[in-house]
């Protein structure tokens, strides 16, 4: 199928027949949308398991906020937050991604059972990251990044955001390949919200095909981000709080899935899990094509009907499907 074949596969990870759903577990006190809610190990592991029960295919565990202006935590604290959660989820059979910019955290998380390293800096924040991931043979997410979100990096300046992001990602992917990470273990992420304004994020979403042309599976992480708040509020009103942007997030998930994204990263899983499954069903129907149109005895066109076939009693006008009695079907009324 067109989008399925273009979605790509990541060596070392399961293969899904649709856009995968990556649930988020922030083991932080200060993340922009849910800081503090899962700050202890027991709560974080339970939340990760709940996300899987709601439809997440993999869970991304992070111990450092990357919101604009956030203060970096030290290495020991990040390890304390992340490693027990990674170990706890992996021991339950969950496919775990570790969200970190530190090579030491990535290395210990992989040793604790993580299957994927998701580095928002694409290996730029820590020169040891690429060698560590390459040595482990782990898959690696390369995100578009122009530096820590402070000072002039909070708002990006672009002449052509799509071209510049694609070009900068291409250059970063080449560096990652040169560092020893295998081609089939690289995922790219346009970095929505990182040094970008709402119009930049929307342009990138409108041109995901250009990002897919890089030749690697594509991760889209739009969940609850500022640009969605701007879209929902309009030009004058204040944006809704982050946790009130989940329906908008699910809409982006459906669009991304239909555009061939490999995975979407979200805080609230259930709606997005439904959205990507609907997108997959529509994709299948698009590939299969419409049922043939045939002419009935009166010259009217009917979908998938053989000319001259008898219409089963109750097939039209009675409010019942053919062959179903007056009792409700197995699903009951909706």
What amino acid positions are annotated as catalytic residues? Answer: 225, 265
Q: Which two tokens stand for residue 270?
A: 């259930």
b/e per residue 312-332 (b: at least 16 CB within 10 A) = eeeeeeeeeeeeeeeeeeeee
Residue 134 and residue 128: Cα distance in Å, rounded? 10
């Amino acid at each position: 199928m067109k989008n399925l074949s273009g979605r790509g596969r990541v060596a070392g990870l399961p293969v899904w027949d649709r856009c995968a759903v990556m649930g988020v577990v922030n083991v932080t006190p200060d993340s922009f949308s849910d800081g503090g809610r899962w700050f202890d190990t027991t709560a974080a592991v339970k939340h990760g398991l709940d996300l899987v029960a709601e439809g997440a295919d993999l869970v991304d565990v992070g111990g450092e906020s990357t919101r604009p202006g956030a203060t970096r935590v030290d290495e020991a604290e990040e390890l304390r937050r992340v490693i027990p959660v990674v170990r706890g989820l992996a021991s339950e059979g969950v496919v775990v991604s570790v969200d970190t910019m530190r090579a030491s955290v990535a290395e210990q998380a992989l040793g604790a059972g993580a299957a994927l390293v998701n580095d928002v800096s694409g290996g730029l924040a820590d020169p040891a990251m690429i060698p560590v991931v390459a040595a482990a043979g782990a898959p690696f997410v390369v995100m578009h990044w122009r530096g820590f979100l402070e000072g002039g990096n909070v708002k990006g300046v672009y002449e052509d955001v799509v071209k510049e992001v694609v070009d900068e990602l291409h250059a970063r992917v080449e560096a990652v390949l040169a560092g020893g990470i295998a081609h089939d273990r690289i995922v790219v992420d346009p970095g929505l919200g990182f040094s970008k304004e709402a119009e930049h994020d929307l342009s990138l979403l409108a041109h995901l095909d250009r990002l897919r042309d890089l030749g690697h599976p594509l991760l889209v992480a739009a969940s609850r981000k500022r640009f969605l708040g701007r879209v929902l509020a309009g030009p004058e009103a204040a944006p809704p709080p982050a946790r009130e942007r989940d329906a908008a997030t699910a809409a982006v998930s459906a669009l991304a899935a239909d555009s061939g994204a490999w995975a979407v990263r979200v805080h609230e899983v259930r709606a997005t899990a439904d959205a990507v499954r609907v997108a997959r069903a529509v994709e299948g129907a698009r590939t299969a094509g419409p049922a043939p149109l045939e002419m009935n005895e009166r010259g009217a066109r009917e979908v998938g009907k053989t000319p001259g076939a008898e219409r089963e009693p109750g097939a039209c006008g009675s409010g019942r499907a053919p062959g179903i009695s007056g009792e409700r079907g197995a699903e009951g009324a909706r």
